[in-house]
């Protein structure tokens, strides 16, 4: 195994010093639960252990809003008790305080919950979507510039959106919530998962945004900014590839409608997934950014032709439009929205 990158070692050393100082001042571990998912006999539980100052209400969620959410201090190596139905499991928070574990469970298909606790704190509830064996339709949606207007790669706007703008000021992409509602009307038990290169620190805010703007609930699969064992920064492209592969393996009966935008790597990532797993990708839907949005991304769109050549080589339908209404019409024309569609 290759040695840990020196940037990660420096970060871990500084984090350890800060954590020790805060614990000495009375800060204690608190849990931030995330939405998980599972299948027959198992569940993927997602959470993070963060340090909170003295006198923080036991039931308070330590995840902060605005720029403060990026100053939270994680707690590594903390034992977390997970109650799944009648079974109790004890797991340990990993690097940066994350909990990402697959546990046995006997929860029925649909929405359920697990409870997590640290020490003598009251448990917190993490929603989980158990995908039944009979569920064969799934929506895998990007977030930035697919369901929410962010223009994330542009440095000043990224800083403004992540650190200064209140979540209620964010704008949804027109028609996307209605598109997802139409898919669910045709396939009521469809699994919905949101995949983004955004930071886990923003999970609570993104969940609130999705709910407020009429998007269906589903797990958010995010990442963590900063150094990794391999380098200075995490690869968003590698993150999306890895999570897609895991979803394909976790839920082998589901065929996915992959929804993204042409501002970054979604067309290429989705086309590669369709080529590698043509039986797992139902269709690809790409929101085409405006000229102004493309300029904000410092590049040009991948374009329908490039995606068509890559994706349809394996027979995967691919459609493009500037908003949800256009994508809905394109999918409908291909017979991909009606009940019982292939």
- The fold adopted by the segment(s) 137-333 is Rossmann fold (3.40.50)
> In what order do the strands lie in the sheet containing 281-287?
220-223, 191-199, 137-141, 255-261, 281-287, 318-321
**Location of structure tokens 């490039």:** 306
- Structure tokens of 21? 């100082």
Maximum CA extent, the chain:
63
> In what order do the strands lie in the sheet containing 42-52?
87-92, 79-84, 110-117, 124-130, 28-39, 42-52, 98-104
3 state SS for 244-303 = HHHHHHHCCCCEEEEEEECCCCHHHHHHHHHHHCCCCEEEEEEECCCHHHHHHCCCCCCC
> Which residues, including other chains, have CB under 8 Å from residue 189's CB and lie 6 or more apart?
109, 132, 134, 135, 137
By DSSP bridging, strand 281-287 and strand 318-321 are: parallel
**Location of structure tokens 């995010």:** 222
- Is residue 100 within 8 Å of 220, Cβ to Cβ? no
User: How many whole angstroms from its chain centre is CA 59?
Assistant: 24
pLDDT score at 68: 42
Q: What is the pLDDT along the chain (342 residues), one digit of tens a residue?
A: 444 444 455 555 665 665 566 556 667 888 999 999 999 999 999 999 988 777 665 544 445 444 344 446 788 899 999 999 999 999 999 988 999 999 999 999 999 999 999 988 889 999 999 999 999 999 999 998 999 987 555 444 444 445 444 555 678 999 999 999 999 999 999 999 999 988 888 899 899 999 999 999 999 999 876 544 444 345 678 999 999 999 999 999 999 999 999 887 899 999 999 999 999 999 999 999 876 666 555 455 555 655 655 565 668 999 999 999 999 999 999 888 877 666
Q: In angstroms, what CA-CA distances link 24 with 18, 27, 45, 191, 292?
A: 10, 7, 30, 44, 50
**Length in residues, the chain:** 342
**Sign of the dihedral defined by the CA atoms of residues 208, 260, 240, 251, in that order:** positive
Q: d(Cα 112, Cα 35) in Å, to the nearest integer? A: 10
pLDDT score at 228: 47
pLDDT score at 290: 73
Of 254, 260, 304, 310, the residue nearest 281 (C-alpha): 254
Q: What's the CATH number of domain 6-130, 3.30.70, 3.30.420, 1.20.950, 2.60.40?
A: 2.60.40
Of 219, 213, 202, the residue nearest 161 (C-alpha): 202
Q: In the chain, where are the structural domains located?
A: 6-130, 137-333
pTM of the model: 0.84
- Is residue 103 within 8 Å of 82, Cβ to Cβ? yes
Q: d(Cα 75, Cα 100) in Å, to the nearest integer? A: 14
Q: d(Cα 274, Cα 314) in Å, to the nearest integer? A: 7
């Amino acid at each position: 195994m290759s040695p840990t990158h020196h940037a990660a070692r420096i970060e871990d050393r500084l984090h350890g010093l800060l954590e020790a100082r805060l614990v000495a001042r009375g800060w204690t571990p608190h849990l931030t639960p995330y939405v998980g998912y599972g299948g027959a006999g198992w569940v993927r539980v997602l959470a993070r252990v963060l340090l909170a100052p003295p006198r923080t209400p036991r039931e308070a969620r330590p995840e902060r809003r605005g720029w403060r959410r990026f100053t939270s201090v994680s707690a590594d190596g903390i034992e977390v008790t997970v109650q799944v139905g009648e079974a109790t499991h004890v797991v340990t928070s990993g690097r940066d305080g994350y909990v990402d574990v697959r546990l046995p469970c006997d929860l029925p298909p649909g929405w359920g919950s697990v409870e997590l606790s640290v020490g003598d704190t009251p448990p917190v509830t993490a929603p989980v979507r158990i995908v039944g064996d009979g569920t064969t339709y799934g929506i895998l949606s990007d977030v930035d510039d697919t369901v929410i207007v962010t223009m994330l790669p542009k440095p000043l706007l990224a800083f403004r959106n992540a650190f200064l703008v209140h979540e209620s000021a964010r704008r949804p992409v027109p028609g996307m919530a209605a598109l997802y509602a139409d898919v669910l009307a045709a396939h009521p038990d469809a699994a919905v998962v949101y995949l983004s290169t955004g930071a886990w620190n923003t999970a609570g805010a993104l969940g609130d945004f999705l709910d407020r703007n009429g998007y269906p609930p589903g797990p958010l699969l995010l990442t963590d900014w900063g150094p990794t064992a391999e380098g200075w920064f995490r690869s968003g492209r590698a993150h999306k590839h890895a999570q897609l592969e895991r979803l394909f393996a976790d839920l082998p009966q589901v065929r996915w409608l992959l929804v993204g935008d042409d501002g970054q790597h979604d067309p290429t990532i989705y086309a590669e997934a369709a080529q590698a797993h043509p039986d797992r990708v139902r269709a690809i839907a790409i929101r085409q950014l405006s000229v102004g949005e493309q300029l904000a991304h410092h590049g040009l769109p991948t374009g329908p032709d490039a995606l068509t050549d890559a994706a349809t080589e394996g027979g995967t339908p691919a459609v493009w439009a500037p908003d949800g209404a256009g994508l809905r019409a394109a999918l409908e024309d291909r017979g991909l929205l009606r009940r019982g569609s292939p």
